A and B are shown apart, each in its own frame.
Chain A
Amino acid sequence: MTEPTPGRVTTPYEGRAAVWDETAAIEAPLRLHRTTAPAEWMDYNDHMSESCFLLAFGDSADAFFRFLGIDEAYRAAGHSLYTSQTHLHHRQEVTLGEPLALTVQLLDHDRRRLHIHHEMRHGETGVLIAEAEQLLVHVDTAEGRSVDLPAELLRRLDAIAAAHRELPRPDVVGRAMGIRRPPH
Chain B
Amino acid sequence: MAEHAVGGAPFAAYHQPVRPEWLDYNGHLNDASYSLVLSAAHELVLESLGLSADYRASHRASMFTVETHLRYLAEVSAGQVLTAATTLVEADRKRLRLHSELYADGRLAATGECLYLHVDTVAGRSASLPDDRWARVEAMLGAHAELPRPPHLGLGVGSRP
Contacts and interface: CB of A to CB of B under 8 A. Distances in A.
A binds B: yes
Interface of A: 4-5, 7-10, 14, 44-45, 49-55, 58, 82-90, 115, 133-135, 141, 144, 173-179, 181
> How many B residues are at the interface, by size bracket?
35 or more
A178 B97 contact: yes
Contacts, number: 115
Contacts of B36: 49-51
B102 to A, nearest CB: 13
Contacts of B25: 4, 8, 10, 14
Nearest to B73: A84
B92 A8 contact: no
Given A51-B36, A133-B157, A8 B115 contact: no
A89 B154 contact: no
A87 to B, nearest CB: 4
Contacts of B32: 9, 51-52, 54-55, 58
30 contacts: A7-B21, A8-B21, A9-B21, A9-B30, A9-B32, A51-B32, A51-B39, A58-B30, A84-B71, A85-B157, A85-B158, A86-B72, A87-B157, A88-B67, A88-B69, A89-B67, A90-B65, A90-B67, A115-B157, A115-B158, A173-B157, A174-B156, A174-B159, A176-B155, A176-B159, A177-B69, A179-B91, A179-B92, A179-B95, A181-B92
Contact of B71 (A85, A133, A173): A85
